[in-house]
Amino acid sequence: MTHPTSLPASTDPAQHPAAFAAAFNSGDATLLAGVYEPGAVFVPSPGTTATGAELHRANAEFLALGLPISVRPRHTYVADDIALLIVDWEISGTTADGTDVHLTGTATDVARRDPTGHWHYVIDNPFGTARP
């Protein structure tokens, strides 16, 4: 994984999943945190939410796999400064310790445009409508 010092912020909500993937695939937790707005909610597993430091810890667990994520946006619905993003994603491969991993889901995410025109996740729900 490469470690850029910054990534371009997304000004198109349909491109925000790609910005997330680039940040995730960098392996840099600080870059990944930049795709979220302060106070964002992450759903690391169905029925479980994380904010603040817990959000960053939950994301760090996914980053620790050392595997890239691929994303395929399915739908983007925008109302003013709010967007609903439906995104198919996959993390697949073999970790450094030899564990085979295959995680997939369809995210239902909410993003908000900030005053500078950049989008950030307010709710990152990678498992969409999965039941706890």
**Residue 14 phi/psi, 5° resolution?**
-65, -20
**Region 31-37 average pLDDT:** 94
pLDDT of the residue at 125:
97
Closest by CA to 78, choosing from 101, 112, 108, is 112
Domain count, the chain: 1
Specify if 132 maps to a domain: no
Checking if the pLDDT of 1 tops 90, the result is: no
**Region 104-126 average pLDDT:** 96
CA 125/CA 83 separation, integer angstroms: 13
pLDDT of the residue at 8:
67
Specify if 32 maps to a domain: yes
129: pLDDT confidence band, cut at 50, 70 and 90?
Answer: confident
DSSP state of 62: H
Specify if 129 maps to a domain: no
Token code pair at residue 48: 């479980």
Question: Rg of the chain over CA atoms, in angstroms?
Answer: 14
CA 10/CA 122 separation, integer angstroms: 14
In the chain, % of residues over pLDDT 70: 95
Checking if the pLDDT of 124 tops 90, the result is: yes
Specify if 94 maps to a domain: yes
The CATH number of the domain where 18 resides is what?
3.10.450.50
Checking if the pLDDT of 60 tops 90, the result is: yes
Closest by CA to 67, choosing from 32, 102, 34, is 102
Domain that holds residue 109: 13-124
CA 50/CA 52 separation, integer angstroms: 7
Token code pair at residue 103: 């995680």
42: pLDDT confidence band, cut at 50, 70 and 90?
Answer: very high
Specify if 131 maps to a domain: no
In the chain, % of residues over pLDDT 90: 90
**Span between the terminal Cα atoms of the chain, in Å:** 32
Specify if 42 maps to a domain: yes
pLDDT of the residue at 2:
45
Specify if 54 maps to a domain: yes
Checking if the pLDDT of 72 tops 80, the result is: yes
Helix (H/G/I), strand (E/B), else coil: 58:
helix
Specify if 3 maps to a domain: no
CA 85/CA 77 separation, integer angstroms: 7
